[in-house]
A and B are shown apart, each in its own frame.
Chain A
Amino acid sequence: MINTIAYGLTIGAILYIISIGLSLTFGTMRIVNFAHGFVYTAGAYLLVTSLPLVRDNFILGAVLAVAAVIPISYVIERFVIRKLYGVSIDYAIIATYAVVLIGIDLIKWIWGAAPIPLSDPVGIDVSLGGVTLPLYRLIIIMLSLIIFLSLSLFFKKTMVGKIVVASLEDKDAARSLGISVDKYFSYVFIIGSCLAALGGVLYAPITSVHPYMGMMVLLISFAVVLVGGLGNVKGTFVSAFVLGMIMAITGRFWGPAAETMVFVVMGIVLIFKPIDV
């Protein structure tokens, strides 16, 4: 049982790290960003490339991979996302999906389509209440808590954070106060992309790295965002862990149903609380 809880918390932690960027982009720019899934995949593949460069030092490799995503997300933001402000949301969905198609093909071109396995970077098990758990999972859970706390602080205490929150609430009012909202949206987008890449980096050793790893995770993250509320930092945190636990518990009883269960929950939530975007 403790194993299931730990597994659920790990999934929840990674889902939170991925979803928060999606939620902020969704909340601020009103763009359903399918490219987020590609950035997640790119993070994992960049880790595969960077690990041999830093003699398998996982932390350095992770930092390099996330840093390498910054120019990629800048290109996506500059040439696709920025042109989609104020355009019908359908076109935003199609355009970001086109980015995914291009991106996945690029990945297949560079790294090949075969899955790449990675080993556990920590490799130490700790025993907790009579059950042994990989330390790596506990580190991921701690990391997501740190990210949650620092994001909350960032939104409460810093000027940039306050501006982003204000634009989340009312974009036009913020703009009329002389704030160049779009510039801050670019920052939000790049921070979100880095977090998605971090999610890919962290999850890569648990599963194997393959070109389509982002799509299913992206869909589940959308479920997290819709259940938690758009652009809601706390709501995303709670719903990520709740859905992570649901996945873990379902997976314990019937493995293949784990992901489907998330969509069932999302459907039920949307029946009672439809969101118009």
Chain B
Amino acid sequence: MSASSPYGKKNSYIATGPRSVMDIAIIAAAFIVLVPVLGINRTTDFIIFCIFVLGYNLLYGYMGRLSFGHMLYLGTGAYALTLFTEHVSKNPILAILAGICAGALIGIILGPIIVRTSGACFALINLAFDQVGYFLVIVAFSKYTGGEDGMSAYFGKLPLLDFGKKPVIFGFVLFCLLLTYYLLKKFTSSPYGVLIKSIKENETRVKFLGYNTFAYKWATFIISTSISAFAGALSILNYGYVTPSFIDPSRAVEVIFAALIGGAGSLYGSIIGGVVYMAISNYLASYIPRWEMFLGFALLISVFRFRSGIWGFIVERIEKRHNPSARQS
């Protein structure tokens, strides 16, 4: 189905220097404009979710592997940061780094098992591991994780970054989003990015060209889990406490929905999808009592009608206007 994807046909989509600087400026400006509309706390929340969607979309949109248990990696980051502040150091920067490292570690450990599968098996095995992780947090290690109640995280003060102040957290998180965006832009427009897209299209062929596809898939998986753990760690920085809902497998559909509705396989799409999903769950839920049903119908419509998502739809429109004779996809 990825054949109908509008990306990759035109080289203009592989951005170079000035283009990505412009992208970053647009994203930063968009979120700063959102602050007076949504309030600083919620905007921070939106940005963190967008980082999670970016990490997820690298796996789903670029490499074509649908994971149904990505909450595990978000939760790993969240719990790693909290446990780090509790037992090792209260330095927030070090704690976030610990969260990212925990995400990378779980990717390194589980990767060889998970990335050998694809399709339905990949989705289900991630879900199974998520289920195991949820059990570990809620029952097996409840002495350390606080079980159902979760636990609070306390941070020390840094000379320049005082994370007790909301605007500082907002600025830091926005910087993190832009950094993630920039790095992913570099990654995905490099030969490495082209290769993982080729794995999505036809893995056997890439293997026959002599590439070690296993290593590339594993590396992508580790990057994705690290970014997800990064998002998890940042949310604890914002909330100040961790609960098992950060690792709850039944919430996995949120990030899938965001990635799908924004546009799988594009970084802009991830951010649009993240904002749209957060807007639906934060605001529409208070207007529509049956919002889960609404989410279900929206998912069905996006699967049957808008497979390229909102951003893909916009790109198609622009391309059609500039080049009416172009192939209709």
Contacts and interface: CB of A to CB of B under 8 A. Distances in A.
Interface of A: 26, 32, 80, 83, 87-91, 93-95, 97-102, 104-106, 109, 212, 215, 219, 222-223, 226, 256-257, 259-260, 263-264, 266-267, 270-271, 274-277
Interface string B266-308: 0000000000000000000000001011011101100110010
Interface in B112-143: 113, 116-121, 123-125, 127-129, 131-132, 135, 138-140
Contacts of B299: 94-95, 97-98, 101
22 contacts: A83-B304, A90-B119, A91-B303, A93-B66, A94-B256, A94-B260, A94-B299, A97-B299, A98-B295, A99-B296, A99-B300, A105-B292, A215-B250, A256-B139, A257-B139, A259-B131, A263-B128, A266-B125, A266-B128, A267-B129, A275-B117, A277-B118
In this complex, the member of A26, A87, A94, A219 whose beta carbon has the largest number of chain B beta carbons within 10 angstroms is A94
B230 interface: no
Contacts of A256: 135, 138-139
A274 B121 contact: yes
Nearest to B60: A90
A80 B126 CA distance: 25
Contact of B253 (A101, A226, A263): A101
Contacts, number: 113
A231 B253 CA distance: 27
B119 A276 contact: yes
For B120, B260, B304, the residue with the greatest tally of chain A CB atoms inside 10 Å of its CB is: B120
Given A88-B1, A93-B68, A274-B116, A105 B128 contact: no
A106 B250 CA distance: 18
Given A90-B123, A222-B124, 9 more contacts: A80-B300, A90-B64, A93-B120, A93-B123, A102-B297, A257-B135, A267-B129, A275-B121, A277-B121
Report whether over half of chain A's contact residues are helix, strand or loop; otherwise say mixed.
helix
Contacts of A89: 66, 119-120
A86 to B, nearest CB: 9
A95 B300 contact: yes
B304 A277 contact: no
Nearest to B68: A93
A215 B116 CA distance: 26
B303 A95 contact: yes
Query: On chain B, which size bracket covers the interface?
Result: 35 or more
Contact of B124 (A32, A87, A88, A215): A32
A226 B118 CA distance: 13
B303 to A, nearest CB: 5
A75 to B, nearest CB: 13
Nearest to A109: B290
A276 B119 CA distance: 7
Nearest to A84: B303
Contacts of A93: 66, 68, 120, 123
Given A87-B1, A219-B127, A256-B139, A101 B117 contact: no
Contacts of A267: 113, 125, 128-129, 132
Nearest to A216: B131
A24 to B, nearest CB: 15
B115 to A, nearest CB: 10
Given A98-B297, A102-B296, A263 B132 contact: yes
Contacts of A270: 113, 117, 121, 125
A201 B127 CA distance: 26
B308 to A, nearest CB: 12
Nearest to A83: B304
B114 to A, nearest CB: 9
